[in-house]
Amino acid sequence: MSILIKNGRVIDPKNNIDDILDILVVDGKITELNKNLDSKKAKQIIDASKKIVIPGIIDLQLNLREPGNQYKSTLESEMKAANAGGVTGMVCPPDTTPILDEPGLVKMLKNKSEALKLGNVYPLGALTQKLNGKLLTEINDLYESGCIGFSQAEKPIQDTEVLYRSFQYLSTFNLKAFLRAEDAYLSEKGIINAGEISTRLGLKGIQSISETTAINKILEIAHLTKTKIHLNKISTADGLNLIKIAKKNGVNVTCDVSIHQIFLTDNDIGFFNTNCFLKPPLRRESDRMKIIDSIIDGTIDAICSDHSPVNEDNKLKPFAESEYGASSVELLMPLVYKLSEDYKIEDLGLLINKITNQPSSILEINKGSLSVNSDADICIFNPEHSWEIKSKTLISEGKNTPFLNQNFTGKVSSTFFNGNIVFIGT
């Protein structure tokens, strides 16, 4: 198969490209990238005029729900949803059923995802057995079975000695921890951000100190043990300040932010909108603005979807009894583009970098670029496509999102994985 993508605005941050170019794909690889390539070189021509062509997106937080939670969604349905969002690289946390704490489970997930040929799945192995925060898993065996890093998902390790020993082990083998910073005692039974909204709704709040206390502990131990750390879904201004200082002091730390935290605050919960029940909770407007500033200044390394499909019944329950999560992978690129438009960020490549090249660097893989001879993982985005977010328009089996019934401008028009077209939009 040979495909020529013509006249697109090609944005490839790794190679400092932002220009109108053609891309030739042959046998799953990018073979040429230049102006006015000969159309006779390809069997199929795709006109990308007025469209944006970027590397396939790498999402650092995408719950695929398998194994074990097929009543919420299936691996195939969520990988197809990812493709609809231009995503070809998917990092999935270990809190499946059963938990990804045994090599056989990881191999099964890898084999099933590879057979679908819809993208690369990068599992995170459980750092402790059953995510109980007590006994370490067979970390090296999990790594050799295909885990790209190690995580506790939404279950932080509270025993500092266990955390210290896990970091020592990871450092010995030059492996990376992917952690969400939360102190379980300080956030226990908390539902939303602590403040005026939680008081008005009568819901138990989670103070920002829950995040900053955990960040301090993680960074101190990481600095001492020289462990590579990636912090998922940072939500507070104070937490970002701590990370910025740690980076200056030489701690090997990177971090990402959920797309929800960029656009939403606890005010959006309104009168118990369960689509806004998320982890971490939506914070204050001052936190949101600090997040945007930190994306621009480089403190935040990546933007993730935090795609967590939930079945409808669990979202129809009273807020405190409902299940947290939202379907968002299909909205990641449209929202990144909206961010550039709403806040007049002229360098779109700076934002594209946060969902392509920099996630690739965090994972230490050779992806996230349109380099010649690289795998042809490509997203074509139409910035002029207007559409309304409706449950029926989402490919994900989870139909809940805080952005329901909103009008968007910008939509993925096609996605390539290894040179094959895995998504074509309407």
Structure tokens at 398: 């989870």
pLDDT value at 62 more than 80 = yes
Q: pLDDT-derived band of residue 73, with 50, 70 and 90 as boundaries?
A: confident
Q: What is the DSSP letter of 331?
A: G
What is the per-residue pLDDT across 97-116, written as a single tens digit (0 to 9) for each? 999 999 999 999 999 999 99
Using DSSP, state whether 127 is helix, strand or coil: coil
What is the per-residue pLDDT across 330-389, written as a single tens digit (0 to 9) for each? 999 999 999 999 999 999 999 999 999 999 999 999 999 999 999 999 999 999 999 999
Burial of 56 (0-12, 13-18, 19+ CB in 10 A): buried
pLDDT of residue 70: 63
- Choosing from 306, 313, 342, 377, the catalytic residue is 306
Rounded CA gap, 87 and 377, in Å? 9
Q: pLDDT-derived band of residue 213, with 50, 70 and 90 as boundaries?
A: very high
pLDDT value at 65 more than 90 = no
Average pLDDT over residues 207-211: 98
Rounded CA gap, 143 and 122, in Å? 11
- pLDDT above 90 covers a percentage of the chain that reads 96
For this structure, is 306 an active site residue? yes
Residue in the structure block whose two tokens are 């809190």: 95
Average pLDDT over residues 403-408: 96
Q: pLDDT-derived band of residue 145, with 50, 70 and 90 as boundaries?
A: very high
Structure tokens at 161: 């000695």
What is the residue-averaged pLDDT of the chain?
96
Contact 109/66 with Cβ under 8 angstroms? yes
Identity at 360, one-letter amino acid code: S
pLDDT value at 66 more than 90 = no
pLDDT of residue 68: 74
Average pLDDT over residues 206-225: 98
pLDDT of residue 1: 81
Rounded CA gap, 323 and 268, in Å? 17
pLDDT of residue 69: 64
pLDDT of residue 71: 60
Structure tokens at 275: 């689509």
Identity at 278, one-letter amino acid code: L
pLDDT of residue 161: 97
What is the per-residue pLDDT across 237-295, written as a single tens digit (0 to 9) for each? 999 999 999 999 999 999 999 999 999 999 999 999 999 999 999 999 999 999 999 99
Rounded CA gap, 368 and 355, in Å? 8
Rounded CA gap, 360 and 408, in Å? 28
pLDDT value at 72 more than 70 = no
- pLDDT above 70 covers a percentage of the chain that reads 99
Q: Where does residue 65 fall: left (phi above 0), alpha (psi -120 to 50 degrees), or beta otherwise?
A: left
pLDDT of residue 426: 75
What is the per-residue pLDDT across 308-320, written as a single tens digit (0 to 9) for each? 999 899 999 999 9
pLDDT of residue 91: 98
Contact 127/150 with Cβ under 8 angstroms? yes
Average pLDDT over residues 25-53: 96
pLDDT of residue 39: 94
Rounded CA gap, 403 and 198, in Å? 21
Average pLDDT over residues 59-69: 87
Contact 210/192 with Cβ under 8 angstroms? no
